[in-house]
Structure 1
Amino acid sequence: MKKNVFKHESYYNNIFAVLKENDREQFRTLLLTLHERDQAEVLRRLYPENKKKIEIFLTAKEFADVLGWMDVDEQANLLKDFKPEYVREILQRMSRDDAASMLAKTGSEGKAILNQLSDQDRADLEELLAYPSQSAGSIMTKEFVSVSPNSTVHQAFNQVRAQAPTAEIIQYLYVLDAHGILLGILSIRDLFLLPAEVMIGDRMSSHFIHARLEDDQEKVARLIQDYDLVALPILDDKNILRGIVTVDDIMDIMEDEVTEDFNEFSAITTTFDRPETVWEIARTRSPWIIILLFMGMLSASLISSFEETLNQVVVLAAFIPIIMDSAGNVGTQSLAVAVRGLILKEQDERIGRTIWKEFMVGMCIGLLAGIVLSLVILIFYRNAVLALILGITIFITLSLSTISGTVVPILINTLKFDPAIASGPFITTINDILGLYIYFSIASFLLHLI
């Protein structure tokens, strides 16, 4: 029996066709049948003139649900052409953290819309916007379920029902005193297992993981990941619960952090969040290229300084690419290990051990590679001295390349800069210079034996 396979592209094209014909009812029928993620994909693909039809064809509630599946820049880009009244309704139906993130991207237009909101909505959003960028306070949501420690389980169920429609997540009940201080946490699962007459304060967990408003979002992400949490409470200096950060927001943040670190690791300081012009991309990449260009000139100068050695034994030039590639590859591997450890805070107390371990790894790789290369040269060139030069060079170069690949990002991190700026091309160029110097120094020393 044939299975009915849903064909997204064909279905999307049907939606685009009815939208072009301004068939509102058919558009709504086709679009709202889809999962919200797929609805978001349809809206992303609309031509600008068709995007303007959204506020006529969809209610603010329906559109707000779809926006949750888009990143902040996409949200701001979609809403910029809508009427302020429609945008205001959408903001009122979005979670507070998502709405604040989007408003932060809209500039003066966002401030104008903010002034049209109710006093409570405006106060909530202004509080989130006031926190430093990438802090726990800036990414938290204020929509959570709270109960009193004096409530019974039966009363708590009623409170959950009342608060659930506006809460972003209901896996946890946050037990607060009259001043909003967080006393404990109770999971919904545990709530279901308790007798109706039991007091919440008697069964809540008083030992809980939390973060502070000013904590960096990476710390929040690490806590949620390490303790396998669905949400993390965010407290102020008086232990008052100000909001929670949910795991779905953290997943987006981790993706952004990985993208940022990958770009910096590759010596690319641009972003994929918004379209950039050719000039913007060239301008952000040019500084790295210029720096690497001058460092490359050092390699050229180094080769020129050993011109006499090369003239006497021309075959040495044939192995320069092997030395440079091997040094760069091993150094980049160590760099990846070091940067990962620093980003995940795994090396705070064992920097020395990490450097020593990478050095020993480099020695093992260098010894093996040196032996293999020496044997190959003996077989094909039948020159024992040349084999010795290359073998020693590879051994020393790979051993030291692991140190540079490990030490440079750790040093930069110590200086309070992002370790990812010690990019692959940067480390590769350093190790190229190191490898060439070792190679020609050993060759010059043993030249009389060749």
Structure 2
Amino acid sequence: MKKNVFKHESYYNNIFAVLKENDREQFRTLLLTLHERDQAEVLRRLYPENKKKIEIFLTAKEFADVLGWMDVDEQANLLKDFKPEYVREILQRMSRDDAANMLAKTGSEGKAILNQLSDQDRADLEELLAYPSQSAGSIMTKEFVSVSPNSTVHQAFNQVRAQAPTAEIIQYLYVLDAHGILLGILSIRDLFLLPAEVMIGDRMSSHFVHARLEDDQEKVARLIQDYDLVALPILDDKNILRGIVTVDDIMDIMEDEVTEDFNEFSAITTTFDRPETVWEIARARSPWIIILLFMGMLSASLISSFEETLNQVVVLAAFIPIIMDSAGNVGTQSLAVAVRGLILKEQDERIGRTIWKEFMVGMCIGLLAGIVLSLVILIFYRNAVLALILGITIFITLSLSTISGTVVPILINTLKFDPAIASGPFITTINDILGLYIYFSIASFLLHLI
């Protein structure tokens, strides 16, 4: 039996063709048949002159549904050329958290559009925009389903039906008192299983996981992950429910956090998910490269200071790359372990044990590598002193490299900076200097025996 395989590229090209011919009805038929994720992909690929046709070919509601599948930068880039009236309608149909994030990217234009919204919409968005960036308050949505503890299950069903069209999700019912204080939570599944006459307050769960408005978004992500939640309630200092953070928003945030940490770990301060010019990318990466360049000059100066030792035993220079590579590799491994533990909050109370464990690991690796390298030198160079120098150097260097790879990110985290700033190239350069100093110091001390 021949399978009917959907060919995205061919279908996309058909959409582009009818758009070029300004066939509105055919464009709508082809585009709106697709899943919203695929609709977003089509709109991403449009030429600038064709993107302007979107407000003519799609209603504000249709376009708002597609925007939810794009990141904030893409949303702002698409909307900047549309008429304010069209943008206003789109904002009214977007979830509050998505609309607030997009407005934050549009600057003065966003403020002008915000002033054209209804009092309630404007108040909701201004509240979200007022919270600190990357806090729970800034990423929550205010569209959730709430019920009274005095409602019966039958009444709760009616309340769900009334609120569902504007709710972000309806996985949970949030039970609030008259002041908006969160008393408990009831899942939709449990609601379906209860008799119609049962009071919600008698069956709700009073023990629930929550976050505060000022909590960092990484803490919110960990709570949702640890407790396998679909949404997390966000409370103020009076326990009033201000909003919820949904798992789909957290997935986007976690992706951004991983990208940011990966960039910093690689000494890159630019992103991969939005178009940038060559100059912007070069300018973003240059500071780290310049810093590492000056640190590399320290290595060169260190080698120069041991010039007399090198002149007497030229063969020492042949093993410099081995020392530097080994130190950098082991240090980067320890750095990765330390940064992961700090980001996941796995070692807040056992920092000393982590450092000691990594040091012992470095000693074991250093001992093994030192023995192997010494045996290789004995076999090929037949020089026991040279084998001793390199064996001791590798042992000490790898042992200490694990400490620098662990301590530096912990120290940076203690100073309230992102531990991923202790990037791989940074640690590698530090360990290069450390390894060279140990190597030439030992070689100078044992030089008379060679």
Q: For the superposition of Structure 1 and Structure 2, which TM-score range results when normalised by the shorter chain?
A: over 0.9
**Equivalent residue number for residue 223 of structure 2:** 223
Q: How many angstroms does 1:395 deviate by?
A: 0.8
Cα drift, residue 446 of structure 1: 1.4
Question: 1:270–1:284: 8 Å Cα contact kept in structure 2?
Answer: yes
Question: How far did 1:372 drift?
Answer: 1.1
CA drift at 1:286? 2.0
Displacement after TM superposition at 1:420 (Å): 1.2
Q: Secondary structure at the match of 2:185?
A: strand
Separation (CA, whole Å) in 2 of partners of 1:28 and 1:284: 41
Which shifted more, 138-147 or 436-445? 436-445
- Do the aligned partners of 1:73 and 1:273 also contact (CA within 8 Å) in 2? no
Q: Deviations over 1:236-269 (max 9, x none)?
A: 1111101000000001111111111111111111
Cα drift, residue 441 of structure 1 = 1.1
Q: Deviations over 1:258-309 (max 9, x none)?
A: 1111111111112234333333322222221121111111111111111111
Task: Provide structure 2 residue ranges, at least 5 long, that are not aligned to the other structure.
Answer: none
Alignment of 1:45-444 (within 5 A): 45-444=45-444
Structure 1 residue 345: Cα displacement: 1.1
How many Å separate the matches in 2 of 1:133 and 1:405? 30
Cα deviations by residue, 1:371-409 (Å, 9 ceiling, x for unpaired): 111111111111111111111111110000000000011
Matched-pair contact (CA < 8 Å) for 1:40–1:67? yes
Map of 2:449 onto structure 1: 449
Q: TM-score, normalised by structure 1?
A: 0.99
* Mapped partners of 1:105, 1:224: distance in 2: 27
Q: What's the CA shift for 1:444?
A: 1.3
Take 1:119 and 1:177, find their aligned partners in 2: how far apart are those partners?
A: 25
Per-residue deviation, 1:184:
0.2
Aligned to 1:258, what secondary structure does the other structure show?
A: helix
> In structure 2, the residue corresponding to 1:184 is in which secondary structure?
strand
SS of 2:174's equivalent in the other structure is strand
Provide the C-alpha distance between the structure 2 equivalents of 1:278 and 1:327, rounded to a whole number of angstroms: 33
1:15-72 Cα deviation digits (max 9, x unpaired) = 1001001111111111111111000000000000100111111111111110000001
Of 376-385 and 198-207, the range deviating more from structure 2? 376-385
Q: Is the 8 A contact 1:375 1:387 kept in 2?
A: yes
Tell me how far apart the structure 2 counterparts of residues 380 and 6 of structure 1 sit (CA, whole Å): 62
3-state SS of paired residue (2:242) = strand
Any conservation in 2 of the 1:145–1:167 contact (CA below 8 Å)? yes
Would you say the 8 A contact 1:377–1:386 is kept in 2?
Answer: yes
For 1:296 and 1:197, the matched residues in 2 are separated by: 75
Residues 331, 402 of structure 1: 8 Å contact kept: yes
Percent identity, aligned pairs only, is 99
Asked whether the 8 Å contact 1:153–1:197 carries over to 2, the reply is yes
CA shift for structure 1 position 200: 0.4
- Please give the per-residue CA displacement for 1:309-349, whole angstroms capped at 9, x wherever unaligned: 11111111100000000000000010111111111111110
What is the deviation of 1:82?
0.8
After superposing the two structures, state which structure 1 stretch, 361-370 or 276-285, moved more.
276-285
Secondary structure of the residue that 1:229 maps to in structure 2?
A: coil
Distance 1:262 1:18 in 2: 41
- The range that moved more, 291-300 or 170-179, is 291-300
Residues 145 and 174 in structure 1, CA contact (< 8 A), matched pair in contact too: yes
Cα deviations by residue, 1:113-163 (Å, 9 ceiling, x for unpaired): 111111111111111111111111111000000000000111111111111
Task: After TM superposition, give the deviation of residue 412 of structure 1 in Å.
Answer: 1.1
How far is 1:14 from its partner? 0.7
Distance 1:277 1:18 in 2: 31
2-side partners of 1:309 and 1:429: how far apart?
A: 23
Q: Distance in 2 between matches of 1:301 and 1:110?
A: 54
2:15 counterpart SS class: helix
Residue 174 of structure 1: SS of its match in structure 2? strand
SS of 2:141's equivalent in the other structure is coil
Deviation, structure 1 residue 359: 0.4
Secondary structure of 2:196's aligned partner: coil
Aligned partner of residue 242 in structure 1, secondary structure: strand
Kept in 2, the 8 Å contact 1:136–1:220? The answer is: yes
CA distance, structure 2, for counterparts of residue 388 and residue 132 of structure 1: 57
After TM superposition, the structure 1 stretch with the greater mean CA deviation from structure 2, 415-424 or 331-340, is 415-424
1:150-193 Cα shifts (integer Å, max 9, x gaps) = 00111111111111111000000000001100000000111111
| Alpha-carbon distance between aligned partners in 2 of 1:240 and 1:65, rounded to the nearest angstrom | 30
Distance 1:128 1:394 in 2: 55
Distance 2:305 2:130 in 1: 58
For residues 305 and 181 of structure 2, what CA distance do their matches in structure 1 show? 71
SS at match of 2:233: strand
TM-score of the two chains, using structure 2 as the length reference: 0.99
Aligned-pair CA distance for 1:445: 1.4
Q: Distance in 2 between matches of 1:292 and 1:245?
A: 40
CA contact (8 A) 1:404 1:427 kept: yes
The CA RMSD over aligned residues, in Å, is 1.0
Please state whether the residue corresponding to 2:184 is helix, strand or coil. Answer: strand
The number of equivalent residue pairs is: 450
2-side partners of 1:77 and 1:322: how far apart?
49
Within 1, Cα distance between the matches of 2:394 and 2:3?
Answer: 59
> Counterparts of 1:72 and 1:203 in 2: how far apart (Å)?
40
Could you tell me how far apart the structure 1 residues matched to 2:191 and 2:361 are? 52
Aligned counterparts of 1:219 and 1:345: Cα–Cα separation in 2: 9
Give deviations 1:88-116, integer Å, cap 9, x for gaps: 11111110000011011111111111111
Contact 1:366 1:398 in 2 (8 A): yes
